[in-house]
């Protein structure tokens, strides 16, 4: 269960360019829920996601996941938390362009010194699922946008996360690839994974398996609808 308790995020505190990105957000998501965060760019979606993934810390309030007050935890614990529980699909994928697809996918597991056999098995599964087996050893910078995204998704899934967070996942994809992505999300949803997706792609808004749509505007929640 994810609980955002009255959180505010302010950038550049006490500077002339001070910016309130999130204002007193109070949200609750249940385990296995698929939540869509909706809103124009600059509405605070990405900031909220990075607070939930503990990539940054709120100025006010706290984020509690499974009774862990992750926004109060020291850096090394949040890293460990992310490694074990979170798969993050970034808007610009944040792949390392000079590494191969394979090397990018194993990145989250490197510090855990994984067992080679299990790792290979897991990666082969993922590569197969996302049809990028033949791109395994290609440098990411030489892959197309769709292929890069599938590498990013594979990387997010390698640690079998309980929570998947995706930030504008279809922003760089054409209609066909977007539909493919939705299929992937659907199958993940069936595995009881908690999924948070920030998007302004209307494709997501009337899917029948979405549990909750949260609408943000200027850093505030203006609407929460259950389907």
Residue found by looking up tokens 């998704």 in the block: 153
Element (H, E) at 165: strand 163-167
Gap between the Cα atoms of 212 and 215, Å rounded: 10
Gap between the Cα atoms of 81 and 227, Å rounded: 30
Residue 155 burial (CB count, 10 A): 24
Residue 106 near other proteins by CB under 8 A:
yes
* Contact stretch for other proteins (CB under 8 A) within 102-110, 125-133, 171-179, 191-199: 102-110
Site for other proteins in 51-70 (CB under 8 A): 53, 55-57
Site for other proteins in 147-166 (CB under 8 A): 155, 159
Residue 72 near other proteins by CB under 8 A:
no
How long is the chain? 227
Least Å from the CB of residue 6 to other proteins: 20
Residue 17 near other proteins by CB under 8 A:
no
Residue 41 near other proteins by CB under 8 A:
no
Cβ neighbourhood burial of 185 (10 Å; 0-12, 13-18, 19+) = buried
Residue 101 near other proteins by CB under 8 A:
no
CB 55 within 8 A of CB 43: no
Binder among 14, 113, 206, 208 for other proteins (CB under 8 A): 113
Residue numbers of the site for other proteins (CB under 8 A)?
50, 53, 55-57, 75-76, 79-84, 86, 88, 90, 94-96, 98-99, 103, 106-111, 113-114, 155, 159
């Amino acid at each position: 269960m994810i609980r955002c308790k009255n959180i505010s995020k302010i950038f550049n505190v006490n500077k002339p360019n001070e910016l309130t990105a999130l204002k007193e957000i109070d949200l609750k998501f249940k385990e296995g829920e698929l939540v869509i965060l909706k809103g124009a760019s600059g509405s605070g979606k990405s900031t909220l996601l990075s607070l939930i993934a503990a990539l940054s810390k709120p100025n006010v309030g706290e984020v509690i996941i499974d009774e862990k007050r992750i926004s109060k935890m020291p850096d090394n614990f949040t890293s460990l938390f992310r490694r074990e529980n979170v798969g993050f699909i970034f808007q610009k994928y944040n792949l390392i362009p000079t590494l191969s697809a394979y090397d990018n996918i194993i990145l989250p597991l490197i510090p855990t010194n994984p067992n080679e056999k299990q790792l290979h098995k897991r990666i082969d599964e993922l590569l197969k699922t996302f049809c990028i087996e033949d791109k395994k050893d290609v440098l990411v910078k030489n892959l197309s946008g769709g292929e890069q995204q599938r590498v990013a998704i594979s990387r997010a899934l390698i640690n079998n996360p309980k929570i998947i967070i995706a930030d504008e996942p279809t922003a760089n994809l054409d209609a066909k690839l977007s539909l493919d992505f939705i299929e992937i999300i659907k199958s993940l949803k069936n595995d009881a994974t908690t999924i948070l997706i920030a998007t302004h792609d209307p494709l997501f808004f009337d899917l029948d398996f979405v549990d909750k749509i949260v609408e943000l505007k200027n850093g505030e929640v203006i609407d929460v609808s259950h389907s």
